[in-house]
Amino acid sequence: MPSDPKRVTRALLSVSDKAGLVDFARALHERGIELVSTGGTHRTLSEAGLPVKDVSDLTGFPEMMDGRVKTLHPAVHGGLLSIRANPEHQAAMLAHGIQPIDLLVVNLYPFEATVAANKPYDDCIENIDIGGPAMIRAAAKNHGDVAVVVDGADYTSVLADLDAYEGAVTLTLRRRLAQKAYARTAAYDAAISNWLANELGEEAPSFRALGGSIAEVLRYGENPHQAAAFYRSPEKRPGVATVRQVQGKQLSYNNINDTDAAYEAVGEFPPERSAAIVIVKHANPCGVAEGTTLHEAYGKALRCDPVSAFGGIVAMNRPLDAEAARAITEIFTEVIIAPDASEEAIAIVAAKKNLRLLLAGGLPDPRQEGLTFRTVAGGFLVQGRDNAVVDAMDLKVVTKRAPSDRELDDLRFAFRVAKHVKSNAIVYARDLATVGIGAGQMSRVDSSRIAAWKAAEAAKVAGLPETLARGSVVASDAFFPFADGLLAAAEAGATAVIQPGGSMRDDEVIKAADEAGLAMVFTGYRHFRH
């Protein structure tokens, strides 16, 4: 028998989300548990024909101030906080007519949903719950005697304990519920504090809190010996956290990380302008292209690095259609993510039972503000999302030769891609498709050489007589500190360059570009991605 089961005789229910409430309350009533409730919850239970006391029957005070004050009373908090085995606590309860509350069921005002719906400031303030968190924390602290439920998913666990232990809830379950309760109030307070910081324009508040809710427990992390789980934050940004998984195996830690990288990258390409495909391997794009159709874009993206694309992630900016689905399923692919998909495309993908098909319901906005986080030993780094987009940049021609219209289109394309390639990043592109990518190298010249080698290898695989880099443009995520990286691009066959500029040796690099006959533009924006 589990240790210290505690009998439940009275339950206080006060919930915003009423899904499953009536059935749960009816089950409690059928087990002889007295029901006490507040406001809308009391009305819902009464209308369902359940005998339920109003919390004012305990406190002797009516709800007041538009419901802001109803449970902040010793009759409630004494009933939650009293230690049943403490004679002084019991004497105080007796002296003041306080009745014990053995089960608390509370979910909070929908603050996160109100903010996500872009409601006015005052509406958000009114959806900050005060009494709920106070009761939750009180019950969770006193979990030695009280069970607290903040998630409707735990209704069945509570009923199972009540049935198994003669109307009692075990200490094991009470502890688990208490942990969840404190995590929920912490996440709730984090959402409120971060929203207020944003409203105030506070980029670095004195305290920064993080919170999220479990999406799923993963089989393992980056490696099999690492435990892992996936949590959703309050931010409603289309992507891996919003997807409907149509089919395929459970996503792994690495799948989720890579899929996020792919979908963020494809969000750079407006679907009304062109179809776009991003193929990602180990969080780096290995092929990106635009086309008139997804099928055309996929073929161009795959040509860039067909070897790395094997076992990769494919993201697109338009609903998956049958023609693209047939092409993508010709090679081994881990994940396909799209805003939506046709029924015919879904049926085609279904033939590959392990292939994950994810439908996100929308595209991430590359201009949207937000925060990104990264842990370090003893703390974490916070920064604003890189929401700079090349279409909004004032490109400055710094060489004697200006880029042609075709080169300019390719330069903008390449810089969009470079934003999503690990630094040091070099991207060769031609005809709105990558033809060589150098990522994550310790020196920029090495990235240039690797990207050029990739372009030459891709040409060999395609049976072409010369490197794909011939006649291409090249993008660099940061300035060239020396001319050597730029000259490596020229040697590979590039004709134009886009880079942030800002090096002490810009004049030297510009001179080298002029001597090589290159056109070069500066963006004024760096896209480091570590």
Decide if 395 contacts 522 (C-beta within 8 A). Answer: yes
Query: What's 446-492 look like in SS3?
Result: HHHHHHHHHHHHHHHHHCCCCCCCCCCEEEECCCCCCHHHHHHHHHH
Q: How far apart are CA 316 and CA 325, in angstroms?
A: 11
* Beta bridge partner(s), residue 107: 15
Q: How far apart are CA 520 and CA 112, in angstroms?
A: 46
Helix (H, G, I), strand (E, B) or coil at 169: strand
* Cα angle, residue 301 at apex, residues 300 and 307 outer, rounded to 5°: 115
How far from 343 is each of 251, 267, 320, 349, CA to CA, in Å? 22, 23, 9, 10
Q: How far apart are CA 82 and CA 102, in angstroms?
A: 10
Question: Catalytic residue positions?
Answer: 141, 282
Largest CA distance in the chain: 95
- Other Cβ atoms less than 10 A from the Cβ of 201: the count is 6
How is residue 227 annotated by DSSP? -
Start-to-end CA span in the chain (Å): 52
How far from 298 is each of 280, 291, 292, 331, CA to CA, in Å? 12, 8, 11, 12
Rg (CA), the chain: 29
Helix (H, G, I), strand (E, B) or coil at 442: coil
CB-count exposure of residue 36 (10 Å: 0-12, 13-18, 19+): buried
| Residue 455 identity (one-letter amino acid) | A
Long-range contacts of 69-72 (CB under 8 A, 24+ apart): 69/131, 70/38, 70/39, 70/131, 71/14, 71/38, 71/131, 71/132, 71/134, 71/135, 72/130, 72/131, 72/134
Q: How far apart are CA 258 and CA 281, in angstroms?
A: 7
| Residue 415 identity (one-letter amino acid) | F
Q: How far apart are CA 337 and CA 255, in angstroms?
A: 11
Q: Considering only CA atoms, which of 45, 51, 36 is closest in space to residue 99?
A: 36
Q: How far apart are CA 38 and CA 108, in angstroms?
A: 13
Decide if 37 contacts 15 (C-beta within 8 A). Answer: no
Q: How far apart are CA 382 and CA 485, in angstroms?
A: 31
